């Protein structure tokens, strides 16, 4: 493995300290899905309605109009909130309502709040927007709470969040922005994120297919023993990068080409699971 140092692909559009350490608001916000208990219950119905009717935001022509829209939303909250309420709590509830609604328009508004909202709100909105692609398909199947949190943990281990993705030193800022814009729920984007990380880590290109395949297994949680092995290795104190190397190494010896007409590659599942158990 190369000794060159990679760096995290921090988005130039976010706070330079976003997600830098475990105490950071963005990192804490990513630790759980949207709250079920509102901070300002009296406004919960109004916030839910506003979140559902924000479709006009996605049609705004430019950033100036978008900022005016967000300022208007904040003004409505200030006018309607109870005397005992704190505006930041109302806005955080609105972020939760947008995430629960979860459509493309809500996603766009979360991105706007992340870019131009007050610092505390921006961190929460950025985290909500970042994690949305990791759990959207699971939410559509009716899961929430602990199930979504478990999916977030597994998939963000496989494919890091924007701002935490590895790039080679000296990567131009515009390419960093493009990398952070790649969606982990789109297979081609997911592969691009993985390949950028492997390049930054200086791994042997011959090993790339095994790493890509392991990430796909982790994303889909199939076979489940891959994630179980990753958790076991992490509990022993191994780094994420080392765990992925071990998983790819366990897969590699058992990969074989499939017969013509079936496409791609396959592997001996029993032998692979035995290798995982031996890690």
Give domain limits for the chain.
Answer: 25-142, 147-277
* CA–CA separation, 139 and 156 (whole Å): 16
* CA–CA separation, 129 and 67 (whole Å): 18
| Reported pTM | 0.75
Task: Name residues of the chain where pLDDT drops below 50.
Answer: 1-3, 11-31, 258-264
Tell me how many degrees the CA angle 26-62-89 measures, rounded to the nearest 5: 35
pLDDT score, position 164: 92
Reduced to 3 states, what is the DSSP secondary structure of residue 94? Answer: helix
Tokens representing 3 are 């000794």
What residue ranges in the chain does DSSP mark as E strands? 7-8, 166-167, 255-257, 265-267
* CA–CA separation, 69 and 84 (whole Å): 25
pLDDT score, position 136: 83
Sign (positive or negative) of CA dihedral 111, 117, 121, 122: positive
* CA–CA separation, 128 and 33 (whole Å): 8
pLDDT score, position 58: 64
Name residue, tokens 């997600």: 19
Query: What is the percent of the chain with per-residue pLDDT over 90, rounded to a whole number?
Result: 41
Tell me the pLDDT tens digit for each residue of 264-279: 457 788 999 999 999 9
State the DSSP H helix or E strand holding residue 70, giving kind and residue range, or none if neither. Answer: helix 63-80
pLDDT score, position 14: 37
pLDDT score, position 256: 75
- Residue 255 has phi, psi (to 5 degrees) of -80, 140
């Amino acid at each position: 493995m190369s000794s060159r140092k990679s760096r995290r692909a921090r988005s130039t559009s976010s706070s330079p300290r976003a997600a830098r350490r475990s105490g950071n608001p963005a990192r804490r916000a990513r630790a759980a899905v949207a709250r079920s208990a509102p901070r300002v219950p009296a406004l919960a119905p109004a916030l839910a309605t506003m979140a559902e009717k924000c479709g006009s935001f996605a049609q705004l022509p430019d950033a100036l109009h978008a900022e005016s829209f967000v300022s208007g939303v904040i003004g409505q909250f200030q006018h309607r909130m109870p005397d005992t309420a704190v505006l930041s709590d109302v806005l955080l509830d609105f972020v939760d309502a947008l995430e629960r609604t979860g459509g493309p328009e809500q996603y766009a508004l979360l991105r706007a709040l992340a870019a131009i909202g007050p610092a505390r709100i921006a961190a929460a909105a950025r985290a909500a927007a970042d994690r949305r692609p990791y759990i959207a398909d699971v939410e559509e199947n009716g899961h929430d709470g602990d199930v979504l949190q478990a999916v977030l943990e597994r998939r963000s281990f496989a494919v890091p969040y924007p701002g935490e993705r590895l790039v080679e030193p000296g990567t131009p800022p515009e390419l960093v922005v493009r990398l952070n814009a790649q969606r982990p729920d789109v297979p081609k984007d997911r592969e691009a994120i993985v390949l950028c990380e492997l390049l930054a880590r200086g791994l042997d290109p011959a090993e790339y297919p095994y790493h890509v395949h392991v990430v796909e297994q982790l994303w889909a949680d199939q076979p489940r023993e891959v994630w179980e092995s990753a958790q076991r290795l992490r509990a022993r104190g191994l780094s994420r990068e080392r765990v992925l190397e071990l998983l790819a190494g366990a897969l590699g010896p058992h990969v074989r080409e499939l017969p013509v007409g079936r496409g791609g590659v396959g592997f001996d599942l029993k032998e692979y699971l035995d290798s995982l158990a031996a890690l």
